Amino acid sequence: MNSELLMDLKTRLHEAKHAVFFGGAGMSTASGIPDFRGSQGLYTTSRESSPEYLLSVTCLRREPQRFFDYYRSAILYHDAAPNAAHRALAKLEKDGVLKALITQNIDGLHQAGGSRRVLELHGSVARAYCAKCGKEIDSDVIAEEKSVPRCPDCGGVVRPDVVLYGEYLPEDVFEDAVREIGEADFLLVGGSSLTVQPAASLVESFIRRDAGPLAILNKTPTDYDAWADFLVRDPVEEVLPILAGE
């Protein structure tokens, strides 16, 4: 770990007037949730149909039982708890350093770790609703049911409030994220390979604006490393607490 680099990064981050965090699956691996592309991720461990199909709106409509069986086994991690990286971001927000947190994750661990201004680009497993009438439903019903969960009012399928393959990102959340990136004078990226679009386009827009430093904290290279002012390969759960002064 390069102490001098991290101290410089910490100073620049705390000097920013509108710092924004953008994170991905690597934020939660220390909490026991594997990322999609890691050695234990869905893309390397799935032995049936592709995760893109099993977690798609098409599968939900055509084979709802199969969708929920896979969703419960591959996506829900009931014992996962916030790790040091989540708590560090919450402290940075509380201290007024971070103005917003944009995440591709659906696990809800940022909120559980204390963050308040969280923009969930891909939704959250903590919420559910009826696909037929739109009624908000306690998400626990999805985990507790063995079969396809049904709405008590209309009998429609209760689905998780997450963006499935084949669906668009929630327009209001994405617009909020665009607005935050447009005001940012420091962008801190953590635990994301920056390969998923249109989420990664937010980083592209910050680079085009040349509005301030870009810091990328990720174990593996990304397509945007050449534009980073700070590039750190150490685990986010070790780096972010340092940046937060813990």
Task: Give the residue numbers marked as catalytic.
Answer: 122
Q: How many CA atoms lie within 13 A of 4 on its CB side?
A: 0
- Which residues, in sequence order, are CB contacts of 80 under 8 Å at separation 6+? 28, 31, 32, 33, 107, 109
**From residue 14, how far is each of 19, 114, 179, 210 by CA, in Å?**
8, 19, 21, 18
Please return the burial class of 23, using the count of CB atoms within 10 Å of its CB with bins 0-12, 13-18 and 19+: buried
Q: At what angle do helices 171-183 and 201-209 cross, to 10 degrees?
A: 30
Q: How many CA atoms lie within 13 A of 145 on its CB side?
A: 19
CB 158 within 8 A of CB 141: yes
Tell me the chain's radius of gyration from C-alpha atoms.
18
Q: How far apart are CA 173 and CA 200, in angstroms?
A: 15
| Closest by Cα among 37, 86, 2 to 196 | 37
| Closest by Cα among 153, 215, 227 to 186 | 215
